[in-house]
């Protein structure tokens, strides 16, 4: 198990972005929240390399980049009850009905994730895919470890939440983003 305090050189709260892509979102979050340490996790080399370049260019010292699969990384490298936040933006929606079982965010994953979150930790999810947004919003209402922070199950705008390159692209195409924000209870 990595010693994240030693890796970051401090004991600030630890947040995880799963699927950090090119790193634009995590870089914005790191600037907005210098009081947190961020792990930018992605499965693809290209995104990880671009994220590294972005955080180096911006001089951010509160972001570390990891190339790995989310569940196995968490089991090996994240202590139970240690995350103050987990963020998942625009994951693969697996739009075909026969592939939907491959979607990352489902009731089993949320049960798994809850063990890694501290009390009052935030879970943010955003997608441009209507069906995925509605599925997660509906499913989260039935997960007893979490309570909704928003006045509705989802919102199409969320003040203070940075927009990634992909969110901006989807919005320019006229798509709505589904923002979902829950907190572990």
DSSP string, 25-64: HHHHHHHH-TTSEEEEEES-HHHHHHHHHHHHHHT-SSEE
Distance CA 73, CA 66 (A): 9
Span 52-58, average pLDDT? 97
| Angle in degrees, 0-180, between the axes of helices 70-77 and 107-114, rounded to the nearest 10 | 20
- Note the pLDDT of residue 91: 84
How much is the mean pLDDT over the chain?
A: 94
Contact 1, 79 (CB under 8 A): yes
**What pLDDT, in 10s, does the model give residues 162-182?**
998 889 999 999 999 999 999
As a whole number, mean pLDDT of residues 40-47 equals 93
> Is 3 part of the annotated catalytic residue set?
no
C-alpha distances out from residue 13 to 63, 65, 143, 175, Å: 12, 16, 24, 34
Average pLDDT (10-15) is 98
Query: How many Cβ atoms sit within 10 Å of the Cβ of residue 96?
Result: 8
Q: What is the mean pLDDT of residues 134-140?
A: 95
The CATH code of domain 4-184 reads: 3.40.50.150
What strands lie across the sheet with 83-89, from one edge to the other?
A: 63-67, 37-42, 14-18, 83-89, 117-127, 178-184, 146-148
At 17-41, the pLDDT tens digits run 999 999 999 999 999 999 999 999 9
Model pLDDT, residue 94: 62
This prediction's pTM: 0.94
Q: For residue 96, what is the DSSP state?
A: S
Q: How far apart are CA 37 and CA 185, in angstroms?
A: 22
By mean pLDDT, which of 92-106, 113-127, 141-155 is the weakest?
Answer: 92-106
From the list 11, 35, 92, 130, the catalytic residue is 92
Q: Between residues 45 and 97, which one has the greater pLDDT?
A: 45
């Amino acid at each position: 198990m990595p010693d994240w305090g030693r890796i970051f050189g401090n004991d600030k709260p630890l947040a995880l972005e799963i699927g950090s892509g090119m790193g634009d979102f995590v870089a914005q979050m790191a600037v907005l929240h210098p009081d947190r340490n961020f792990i930018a996790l992605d499965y693809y080399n290209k995104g990880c390399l671009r994220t590294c370049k972005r955080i180096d260019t911006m001089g951010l010292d509160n972001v570390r980049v990891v190339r790995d699969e989310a569940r196995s990384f968490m089991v090996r490298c994240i202590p139970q009850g240690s995350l103050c936040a987990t963020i998942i933006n625009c994951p693969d929606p697996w739009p075909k009905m026969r592939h939907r079982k491959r979607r990352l965010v489902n009731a089993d994953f949320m049960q798994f994730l809850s063990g890694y979150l501290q009390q009052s930790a935030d879970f943010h999810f955003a997608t441009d895919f209507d069906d995925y947004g509605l599925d997660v919003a509906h499913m989260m209402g039935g997960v007893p470890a979490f309570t909704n922070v928003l006045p509705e199950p989802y919102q199409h705008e969320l003040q203070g939440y940075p927009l990634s390159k992909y969110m901006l692209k989807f919005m320019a195409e006229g798509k709505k983003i589904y923002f979902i924000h829950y907190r572990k209870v």
